[in-house]
Each structure stands twice: as structure tokens, then as C-alpha cells.
Structure 1
Amino acid sequence: MNTTQPTMKRTFMMSMIALSVGGVSVTAQAQTQQQKEIEQLRQEVQALRNLVEQQKVQTAQTATAIAAVQRPAPVVTATPVLKTAKGAEFNLYGNVRADASYQAEGGGVDMPYNQINSVPLEGTAGNSDRLRSTLSATRLGLDFKTQAAEQEVKGKIEVDFLGGANLDNLRIRHAYVNYGNWLMGQTWSNFAVPDYMPETIDALAFVGGAVKRTPQVRYTTKFSPQTNLVVAAEDPKDKLTTQRLPALTARLNHQFADNFNISARAMGHEKRINNDEEMAWGVGMGAKYDVVPGTTLKADYYHVKGDSSFVSFTNSGVVTQADGSLVQSEFDSITVGLTQQFNEKLRGTLGYGYMTFDEDQNYIDALADKTKANKELWQAWANIFYSPTKPLSFGLEYVYGEREAFGAAPNGSKTGEDNRLNAVAIYNF
């Protein structure tokens, strides 16, 4: 009997069983490892989900914070554009102005403004120690603008209450239209411009200045950004004469630098009384110089013969002699002043004005009342303006001046005195 064969079979069977058991063991271990990896992967996925959720929350919180900081300002509705029935845009402006004056010595007209050319002579019935006030210089204005054939048309209407014999009636200050280089209507005279007068509280200005507004047709030619020429035909409305032609005026403006401007002016006008006529003429020169920022020097000069309609406080431009012929007055005037801007709210001005008339004996002899015509006029003033807020301004001013007449009063005096303290309160809108 061969014993080797059963033994080999058993050995083979045992090996197969061992291999089978080992394979099962390996498979089990592999499955366990795979389950661990799957579980780990699930945990990592869950962790990633949690991180994403946290990021969403943080993003939302950040966006909220940014929105709170960068939230745009509330939308402000723009002021509606005001339009006329014809479609022109317009802007309303003006002020409420109260003037008061304590007059130690001064003129007789019941108003708190300049009357230097007619103050009573010393020793005559005067107007001393009087308080005067008015709101007549209150203004109301409209600025217009419209488009016409690719050209902008502008206009202005401005009124106050300084009209009439007592200077308390509504009157037109400005009423004109600008079209290109043309101006038609009433505004500041092209000859007697107020640009170079030192600042005053007095609404009628002081000696050497002019506040003349005339109906006119004006044309401006620009030679360069710094230089222009303005010519005009004006109606000066001279009540002393009859006119058949307008006054012709010319003004050359030049800017030497940002702080230095000058203006040269000329005027010519026919004066007629009955059948006699004379030519009136005048020249003027004005300058404005910013010495340093905040300090401005102004000066204005006139030489005029035969006219009293443009420059303020003059004698009659022409008078009639006994034979009916005309004789003309001739004068020189100057005003100069320094304005200092102390800060945004406070400024002040020192000013001086002087006017002297030729002593033409024919003119003097033709005068009906020589005490009412002047040989010399002068005034000096100092003022301070305070603006606590943009629409409000308050001013205080002291002025002293004298006039010397051609003729003497019964007591022999030829001198009259203007001695006043002026105050003003203005609300601009």
C-alpha cells in the first residue's frame, strides 16, 4: 500500500484551505481599509460643506458692512428750472435793504443819501442833527436766458424803489437784452461806469463817482482775451437841453495782469437850447489794482465839458446867457480808495473824492443863483462791512465833505458841510 499519495492529498487540501482563508482575510482587510477611507472622505466633504457655509455667512456680513459704509447719499431732487411762457429760463434774485443815516450836517432832501452838491452854506437854514432811514434801495431782479438760432440770448430786468421826486417810487434800474456782441436796453452808461469807484454804503456814491444808467445800443469788439472795445449810442436824458442825436460813447478795456485792469473812455453829445447848440465832450480813465491778495486799490478820473448828465454832483452843463447863447461848464474829478479784505466775513474801505470846476466868468455871470453852483467839492469816507453768513451783510460808514460855492450867502459864507454816519443792513436772496 502506498502511503505517500494520501499524505500528498491532505497536504494539497490544507494548502488550498490556507490559501482560501488567507484570501478571505486579505479581502476583509481591504474592505475595512476602503470603508475607513470612505468614512474619512465623507468627513472631509462635510468639513468642506461647513467651511463653504461659514464663508457664505461671512460674505453676507461683509457685504452688509460695506453697504452700510458706502451707501450712496440720498438722491436730492434738483431745483426745478424756472421758465417763462415762451420757454426762456430765468433766475429770480434781489435783496431787502434798510439804510439809515445820522446827519450832523447835510442836505435837505429827506433821504439818507449823498447831497454834497446842495448842502446848505454855513450860517443859513441847515439840516443838522437828523436821523433818516429808508428801504427804497431794496431790489428785485430777473435774469433770462434762451437759445435762438444757435446763439444764446440773455436778458435782465432789475428794479428798486429810488424813483420819483421823493426817491420812494418803483423805478427801472436795468432792462436789457444781450445777443452775441450786441446789447440793447438800459444799463450802466458806457462812459460813466461804476467799476472803478471805491466801495461805499451810500446808494448814490460820493464825489468823483457816477451811477448813471442809460437807454442804449452797445456793441463789443474783442481784440484779444485781455482787450476789448465797447461803443454805444446812449440817451443820457439830459433835462436841461433838447436833443436830436444820441450821445456817442467809447470804452477801451485792457487787463495787464490778473491783478491789474484799466479802462479809457470818451463821450460826445450835442446840447441844444432853443436854436443854439454846443458840443459836449468828456474823457475818463479808471484803474483797479490788487496790491496783494485781499488789498484792492481803485481810482477813477473824469474831465468833462458842457455835460451834467453822466457824472454825479456836477454843476449844470450849459446855461443860457442874456443874448440866448450857451456857455458851458468844465470840470475835473477824481476818486480813489483802498479796500482791505480782513477775512471771509470782514472788509473795509478808505476813500476820497474831489471835483473842481473852471472859473469861467461868463458861465458864473449867467447863473441865476451863484450859491447853488460849486467851485469845489470833496468828500472822504471810511466804512466797514461785516457778513456773518452768506445772505446777510451789515455796514457802518462815516463820511465828511465840503462844498465851496461860486456865490456867497448873505452872511458871506461860501462853504457847506456834509457830516454823516451811515448804516446799512442787507439780506440777499
Structure 2
Amino acid sequence: MNTTQLFNQPTITFKRTVLMSMMAMSLGGISLSTQAQTSAQSNQQEIEQLRQEVQALRALVEQQQAQTATGIAPVAIAPVPVSAPATKPVMKIASGAEFNLYGNIRADASYQAEGGSAARMYNQINAVPLEGVGERSDEFKSTLAATRLGMDFKAPVGAGDKALSGKVEVDFLGGASFDNLRIRHAYISYANWLIGQTWSNFAVPDYIPETVDALVYAGGSIKRTPQVRYTSTISPETNLVFAVEDPKDATITGIKQRLPALTARLNHKFADNLTVSARAMGNEKRVNEDEKTAWGVGLGAKYDVVPGTTLKADYYHVKGDSSFVSYANTGVITAANGDLLQSEFDSISVGLTQQFNDKLRGTLGYGYMNFDEDQAYINAVTDKTKANKDLWQAWANVFYSPTKPLSFGLEYVYGEREALAPATPNGSKTGEDNRINAVAIYNF
């Protein structure tokens, strides 16, 4: 190795070479001294000097290795300028508002083993055909109608740091056949106020067990209404929400809406793992100039049993309304003598979700609805095979997310409805919903 090659090696290699050379020279000196039979005192001095040199060089090498291990440069190097991390670009419009787009592409598929109809592939437990009457069993269905597109926005308003925020979100589940564009959410909020359409203050989805089906199962509700809402924060753990909402109810014949519904919701967090919500609702049902007051109460709870295991439950008792809670019988009907008669029911949904790891989770759920057997109401129902005495569904699902934007779900659901009267000619009062659901979602 020539001199140029030697100095081109890393600093540590160079110093180790020097150490070896010096050791060799010293050892050579010792050998020569021994052969020449020099005095013992001279030999001892040379050995001691060599020991000191070796220790000094060893300390230098160890220091060099320690600096390299900790990432400290062994020699002074001019720092390389590092550019600041790129920030996510903010999209703005002429008014100064900032906004971001989001959404998903969602593909749903379902195999209906028993029950169901051709018009819909999502949940329809209140209207599945009775046994032997027009069932669409052994049938595969698919759609991308639950694909969603949304936009969140924020804009400065007046002086100070307060801002107006809002959301616009649509999907394609509108119309009887679920293939038309519809508004899911469209609202603005400022301070404690919200104006627009979003989740009902009475029928919130927070306490519903997770499903693959794009619609809720028996016992729950995913109602969105036009509303004006005010939120009052009582404490960090408690808030009270009031709203006036549009209780439109297309199932009631001849209804004339005169007043909005009044709703109230009290949310409280008892501990880090327990949240509850108590709700109340009241609204006027006006048919042919006659009036009835509809009302309801609800109670929901979410409890993290242990980290990764969550229990959800939601309960409703409602009289005279079929707009807020899904799959209810018609809230108000007119008797032959002109009297208004009201349906009344209790419903509950409960489910346990287990997060197995960061990519896999699963849910077991059950939902039930029971309608009071008011004989006057039953007598006034025109087609008793289309009104129900009770409904129930049970389901089990798993969701797998291999990467953050992708999610795949598989679910089995079985449920039944019992009608107020049997169908003809076979005399069956039971309709069955037996199917497997699958979904693939890409979020953006």
C-alpha cells in the first residue's frame, strides 16, 4: 500500500495502521536490544514507553468508535442545509375559505339465501316477503351506490379568531331503487350553533354496533334531518344539545306538517371508558286537520370493557312517530270514524366489537323491535301483512384493513319479522332475512 492509498483510508483505519507500525518498530527494537544483551534498565524503559504509547493509541481508537456509534462526526464537516418538511397544501376559494375534499369508493355485494326483494340489496327487515309470497331467495346483488364524496370547509368571519365551518357530503343511495344522488350532510356551524342537515339530535348513530350493511339493522337509526341546533357545554364531561328538526314522515297518509320537532340530548362521560346519552323528542302529527302529539325517549351507552373491546347499546321508546327510528310501523293512521291512532314500540340494539390487532376487528350484534298490540290500531291497518308485531336481527362481521386507505368486510346476518296477520294462501306470518354481505372500501 503506497502513501496516497494510506491517506485516502478512513481516519480509524489510518490510526490503526500507525498503531500497528509503531508496535512493530517497538517490538523490533526490543528484539535487537535483547540480541545485543543491553542492560535490564534500558529494556525496562523501552517496554514502559511502548506500553504508554499503546494505551494512548487505544484510547484514541475507542473515542473514535464511540463518536461513530452515536452519530457524531469524527471530523469537522460543513453542515448540509436541510429544507423544512413540505406542508399539505391548503385549498382556498375566492372568499378566503379553506377546504379539503374526502370520500370513498365503496363496492357492496350480497348473497340473499332466503327472503329479500329485487328492489333493494340493503337491509329491509320490516318489509321482507312473508314465507312463500314473492321471496327473492338464492340471489346475488351488487352496487357501488354507497360511494361517497364530501367536502369540509372553514372560513374566517369578522374580527378575531372565530371561524365558520361546515360540511357538504353526498352519496348515491337516493330514490326507491337506491341509485340516485342524495345529500347526506349539508350544514354550517359557528360557535355553539349549527344550521343545516346532519344526524338527528334524537336518533344519533354513535351507539349502534358496526355493520357491513350500509343501512342500520333492527333497533337502530341513522336519521339525518334539516335542523337548527344549539350546544351548551356544562362541563368538560357534560353537554346539553337542543334542536328543532324537520320530522317529515312520508309513511303517513294525508299528513300536514305545521311545526318542527323539538329534540334534546344530554351527553355525559362518566370515565375515560364510559359514555352515555339520554335523548327526548316531541312533535305534532296533523292529519286532515286533526292532531296528535308524538313523543319518544332514547338512551345510548358506549363502554370500553378492556382496551380493544367495546360494548355498545341503544334503546328507544316511541309513540306516534315513524320518522326517527328505522323500520317502525306507520306512526299515525286514520280509523274509519276519523280518529287518529298511534303506533307505539320499544327497540334495542346491542353489540360487542373486538379489535384483534391494528388491521383486524370484528363485531357481534343483535337488534330487536316490539310493537304494542293496540287492537284499534290493528283494526285500522289496511294491509296487516305489511305491518309488524316484532322484528329481530343478529349479525357477525369482520373488517380487515391491510393498509390505511383500504378496508374489506364480510358479514353474516339472519333476522325475522312477524306480521300482524298471516299471508294468503299459505297462512305464514313470518318473513326471513338470511344473507351474506361483503364490502370493499377505498378511502381518500
**Does TM, scored on the shorter chain, surpass 0.5?**
yes
Distance 1:124 1:251, change over 3 A: same
In the alignment, structure 1 residue 159 sits paired with structure 2 residue 170: yes
1:359 aligns with 2:373: yes
2:323 pairs with 1:303: no
Which residue among 91, 94, 117 is the counterpart of 1:108?
117
Q: State the partner residue of 1:123.
A: 132
| Cα distance change of structure 1 residues 84 and 106 upon mapping to structure 2, 3 Å threshold | farther
Asked whether the equivalents of residues 282 and 296 of structure 2 are also in contact (C-alpha less than 8 Å), the reply is yes
The aligned counterpart of 2:101 is 92
Structure-to-structure mapping, 1:312-331, within 5 angstroms:
312-331=326-345
Question: How large is the RMSD of aligned CA atoms in angstroms?
Answer: 1.3
Instruction: Find out whether 1:286 has 2:304 as its counterpart.
Output: no
Amino acid at match of 1:156: K
Which residue type is aligned with residue 226 of structure 1? E
Which residue number in structure 1 is paired with residue 145 of structure 2? 136
Letter of the 2:403 counterpart? T
Provide the residue aligned with 2:435 in structure 1.
420
- Determine the structure 2 residue equivalent to 1:195: 206
In structure 2, the residue matched to 1:27 is: none
- After TM superposition, the structure 1 = structure 2 runs for residues 389-400 of structure 1, keeping only pairs within 5 Å, are 389-400=403-414
Asked if 1:345 is matched to 2:362, the reply is no
Tell whether the 8 Å contact from 1:112 to 1:422 is kept in structure 2 after alignment. Answer: no
Aligned-pair identity (%)? 73
Q: Kindly provide the amino acid, as one letter, of the partner of residue 177 in structure 2.
A: N
Distance 2:361 2:409 in 1: 10
1:142-189 deviations in Å (ceiling 9; x for gaps): 001122132221110000000012111110000000100000000000
Unmatched 5+ residue regions in structure 1? 1-59
Structure 2 residue ranges without an equivalent (≥5): 1-72
Partner of 1:38: none
Give the equivalent residue in structure 2 for 1:221.
232
Contact 2:218 2:391 in 1 (8 A): yes
Alignment partners' CA distance in 2, 1:79 and 1:231: 36
Distance 2:115 2:271 in 1: 41
Shift in Å at residue 63 of structure 1?
Answer: 2.3
- Which of 239, 245, 269 is the matching residue for 2:283? 269
Does structure 2 retain, via aligned residues, the 8 Å contact 1:140–1:158?
yes
Computing the radius of gyration from Cα coordinates, the structure with the larger value is: 1
Cα gap change, 1:86/1:360 in structure 2, threshold over 3 Å: closer, same or farther?
A: same
State yes or no: 1:231 paired with 2:246: no
Q: Which amino acid aligns with 2:154?
A: K
Instruction: Count matched residues.
Output: 366
Return the alpha-carbon distance in structure 1 between the equivalents of residues 203 and 82 of structure 2: 50
Task: Give the Cα–Cα distance (whole angstroms) in 2 for the partners of residues 209 and 413 of structure 1.
Answer: 26
> How far apart are the structure 2 equivalents of 1:338 and 1:108?
29
Q: 1:390-411 CA distances to partner (integer Å, 9 max, x unpaired)?
A: 0000000000000000010111
**Is 1:257 matched up with 2:266?**
no
Q: Structure 2 vs 1, CA of residues 61 and 263 (structure 1 numbering), >3 Å: closer, same or farther?
A: closer
- After TM superposition, the score normalised by the length of structure 1 is 0.84
If the length of structure 2 is used for normalisation, what is the TM-score? Answer: 0.81
Q: For 2:85 and 2:194, how far apart are their aligned partners in 1?
A: 37
Instruction: Provide the C-alpha distance between the structure 2 equivalents of 1:297 and 1:73, rounded to a whole number of angstroms.
Output: 48
Distance 1:341 1:61, change over 3 A: closer
Q: Distance in 2 between matches of 1:199 and 1:80?
A: 34
CA–CA distance in 2 between the matches of 1:259 and 1:296? 9
Of residues 181-190 and 406-415 in structure 1, the stretch that sits farther from structure 2 once superposed is: 406-415
CA separation in 1, counterparts of 2:296 and 2:372? 14
Task: Verify the 8 A CA contact 1:111 1:133 in the aligned structure 2.
Answer: no
Partner of 1:19: none
Shift of 1:78: 2.1
Q: Amino acid of the residue matched to residue 366 of structure 2?
A: Y
Deviations 1:166-217 (A, max 9, x none): 1111100000001000000000000000000000011111001101000000
- CA–CA distance in 2 between the matches of 1:374 and 1:396? 29
- Distance in 2, matches of 1:320 and 1:109, equals 31
